[in-house]
Structure 1
Amino acid sequence: MNIKPKVVLNQVSSASEKCASQIHLLPCHLGYTGGANVQAYFQREKVDENGNEISTFRGHLLNGSVQKLPDGYKMFVVKERFNNKGETECDFDPIRYPVDQFFIQHEPQEINTLFIGGEQQVFDAEASTSDFMLWEYDRKPSERNPLPRAINFLRIANDLAVDDD
């Protein structure tokens, strides 16, 4: 049986607005998941007043732009939680939401824990934000990238759902 992944939110106050610095989405996979001294080693240069920037990463030119989520949407950075036996914890009544590669919720309640997958993996929200920096190799981020297109579809859907009265 194929179990589709689910996101489950624990509605606990003290949501994570801990995002002191900006979230960066790079066009590569890194084999490291810990903290990094980004400010010291990831030098950025503003290109224009729209928030576009350039940088390099491991010798590759990167073009970046700030992507703002529509009003009422937040992006969450999550970290898997394990109990002292190395097992995933699952000890409260969930509310289920479908998930894809990252988690964006409309009108988020105060949360600090997510459940994902058929095995009820537990993830704690480490940070949340309403905008992030999207980087592309050798070209400016544009509508060719699926992420800005998806964000634009959210805006279009919200505009179509508004009552004219």
Structure 2
Amino acid sequence: MMVYKRGKSERGCFAVVQGRRVNIKKKEVHWIPRSIQYTGPAEVSSNFIREQIDGESAERGMFRGRGMEGAEWKAPEGYEIHVLKERKGPKGVMLDIESRPDAIRVWQWDRTCGEDNADRTTIARAFAYLRIAQSLADD
């Protein structure tokens, strides 16, 4: 059974997770804000093309003929990135940690990613709200 225990530490919130032991490997993770219905195996190398932009930390890419810009995003201090995998448990759906990457390559199709830690991406802007909420809670 997977149990989450939330508490406070000196660095903020933490979660203690009990669950099935899995072999956790570092994997390259990409977040592409697209709605894709297909969930099976795919020939990623033929549908997803990427290249480094000279002198910049960002990359340009093409996914199914559509241009995108990607940048590496690292979680703020006190947070970790976890890739979860669903499995059926005795009481419903369970989530196991499949990997713990150090960063995510975030791709944008409608804006540039920004220079500092992919700061213009949707995920970076969402974390800005967490900082605001934490500041209000600490007040």
Confirm whether residue 56 of structure 1 aligns to residue 62 of structure 2. yes
Aligned length, in residue pairs: 120
Confirm whether residue 89 of structure 1 aligns to residue 90 of structure 2. yes
Q: Distance in 1 between matches of 2:38 and 2:129?
A: 32
Matched AA of 1:147:
I
Higher relative contact order (CA 8 A, sep 6+): 1
Secondary structure at the aligned position of 2:96 is classed as strand
Aligned to 1:19: 26
Picking from 76, 80, 84, the partner of 2:86 is: 80
Write the mapping of 1:34-73 to structure 2, written as runs, cut at 5 A.
34-38=40-44, 40-41=45-46, 42-73=48-79
Secondary structure at the aligned position of 2:97 is classed as strand
The answer as to whether partners of 2:112 and 2:120 remain within 8 angstroms in 1 is no
Question: How far apart are residue 136 of structure 1 and its match?
Answer: 1.0
Q: Which runs of 5+ in 1 are unaligned?
A: 1-6, 83-87, 91-119
Q: Distance in 2 between matches of 1:150 and 1:16?
A: 30
Q: Distance in 1 between matches of 2:20 and 2:78?
A: 18
Confirm whether residue 150 of structure 1 aligns to residue 96 of structure 2. no
Structure 2 CA distance for partners of 1:146 and 1:137, relative to 1, 3 Å: closer
Q: Which runs of 5+ in 2 are unaligned?
A: 5-16
Give the alignment's TM-score, normalised by structure 1: 0.56
Give the share of equivalent positions with the same residue, in percent: 34
Matched AA of 2:77:
D
Structure 2 CA distance for partners of 1:155 and 1:52, relative to 1, 3 Å: farther
Q: Distance in 2 between matches of 1:49 and 1:159?
A: 36
Q: Distance in 2 between matches of 1:50 and 1:14?
A: 39
Q: Distance in 1 between matches of 2:76 and 2:99?
A: 18
Matched AA of 1:75:
I
Secondary structure at the aligned position of 2:80 is classed as strand
Structure 2 CA distance for partners of 1:12 and 1:121, relative to 1, 3 Å: closer
Matched AA of 1:18:
K
